[in-house]
Structures are given as C-alpha cells and as structure tokens.
A and B are shown apart, each in its own frame.
Chain A
Amino acid sequence: MDVRVQSSPFDPGIELNRFTDHLGGAEAGAIVTFSGVVRNRPDGSLVRMEIEHYPGMTELALAEIGQEAMSRWSLLDALVIHRFGPLVPGEPIMMVATAAAHRSAAFEAAEFLMDYLKSRAPFWKKEVTSDTQGWVAARSEDEQALTRWR
C-alpha cells in the first residue's frame, strides 16, 4: 500500500501504469482507479482551489483507512494520492487505485476509500474567484455515505 500527500502535481495515467507494473503479474484480475479533479463553478468563475490539510494526522488517517480497505477486501495493493496547496480547475486533486483478484472487491474498496477519505481525512477546500473566497461546506450526504460500510 502506498499513501502520498503532496503539493506537487501528478499524472494519474503514469501512476496507474506504475501501480499495475508493481503488481508484477500477481493474482490481480481487477484494478479500479478513481481520479478527482478540481471542478469549476457553473459560471466558470473559479480561479483556484486551495486545499489545506493537517500534516501528520492526514498521513495517519489515510494509512488507517487504507489498511482497513486492504484487509476488508483482501486487496493485493492500494494507492492513495492527495494533493494540498493551490490548484486550478481541471487539475487532478487526488486518486485512489485498488487491485484485487476480482472486480467487485476492487470497486467496493475504491468506493470505501473515497467515502472515508472525504469525511475522515483532514483536508479542507477553499474556493477562490476573482472577487470572493469561501470554504466548501461539508455535505450531509458525504457523512451519510459512511453508514453503508458499518
């Protein structure tokens, strides 16, 4: 399992190839990836997204969520990358990848990782336009989403 919290950009395609190569023809029959990108506002006014995080706790929380996914779905490997700092619309913010023998485990584990990462990893998003800035509010649906995994 690999967890990375970084300000530098990454290429989801390159990361997927690396993740796949690293499995080295093991018994993985399924790889699922999810990439999150900075969404512009409907009127196209977003100048940048600023992502703040809690150094130390972020890595701890992601490692714990990752370990839980690894054991619960018997994953062969998992990858979590999450950026912080200023990002522009269209840039990748984060990605998860899961490798399992069969696809249902890989899909479910990826969803689990995303659901937990959204509400339990200490990241906060701020949207900045040319004349406004504001913190993105947490959505109750995101908190609700966790109940399906309990």
Chain B
Amino acid sequence: MIDVLYFAWVRERIGLPKERIETRAATIADLVAELAARDDRYAMAFSDLTAIRVAADQVLTDFNASLTDVREVAFFPPMTGG
C-alpha cells in the first residue's frame, strides 16, 4: 500500500488530494503509467510530465526513482513559493 498525494492543478485535474493504492509498480514512472491508464482525469493530469515534479517520502526525486520501501509519493507542479 502506498499513499499518493496531489497538489495544486494536479489535485484539481484528478479531483482528489490523496488516495491509498495497491500497486506493484517498481518505479515512479511505472506508477504514473498505471494511474494514467485509469481514466481521462488521470491521463490529462499526467499528459505532460515535464510540467510535473515528484517527491518520494517528502523528498524531491525523479520519475526513474524506485518505489521500494517508499510509503508516500506526491505529484505537483513546479513550486512557486516566496
């Protein structure tokens, strides 16, 4: 089981902030492919991965990262703090 979190427009496109999913995805890219295949909302949200950043267990990482021992993955647009 893994918690998947969405923020900003990724959250709005998918329509929920957080979900707990059962997955056998080995990498974040595999997880994205699995999610994007679910329905149009997910496909839309993940249509351009250059516009999305990802964190594994609250640390920024990249789409090739392994999901082994990861409990929380978050997808969001580039950050705009300050």
The closest CB in chain A to the CB of B58 belongs to A57
**What residues make up the interface of B, taking CB atoms closer than 8 Å to A?**
5, 7-9, 55, 58-60, 74, 76-82
**Bound Cα distance from A82 to B82, whole angstroms:** 8
Known interface pairs A124-B7, A124-B8; A56-B81 also in contact (CB < 8 Å): no
How many contacting A-B pairs (Cβ < 8 A)? 67
**Bound Cα distance from A135 to B82, whole angstroms:** 14
The closest CB in chain B to the CB of A94 belongs to B82
Q: Does A99 contact B (CB under 8 A)?
A: no
The A contact surface, by secondary structure, is mixed
**Bound Cα distance from A118 to B9, whole angstroms:** 18
Cβ contact within 8 Å between A118 and B79: yes
Cβ contact within 8 Å between B8 and A119: no
Cβ contact within 8 Å between A124 and B77: yes
Cβ contact within 8 Å between B80 and A136: yes
Q: Does A102 contact B (CB under 8 A)?
A: no
**Bound Cα distance from A53 to B5, whole angstroms:** 12
What are 26 A-B contacts defined by CB distance under 8 Å?
A: A52-B7, A52-B8, A54-B5, A54-B58, A54-B74, A57-B59, A93-B82, A114-B82, A119-B78, A119-B81, A120-B79, A121-B79, A122-B76, A123-B82, A124-B7, A124-B76, A124-B81, A125-B80, A135-B8, A135-B9, A135-B80, A136-B80, A137-B80, A138-B77, A138-B78, A138-B80
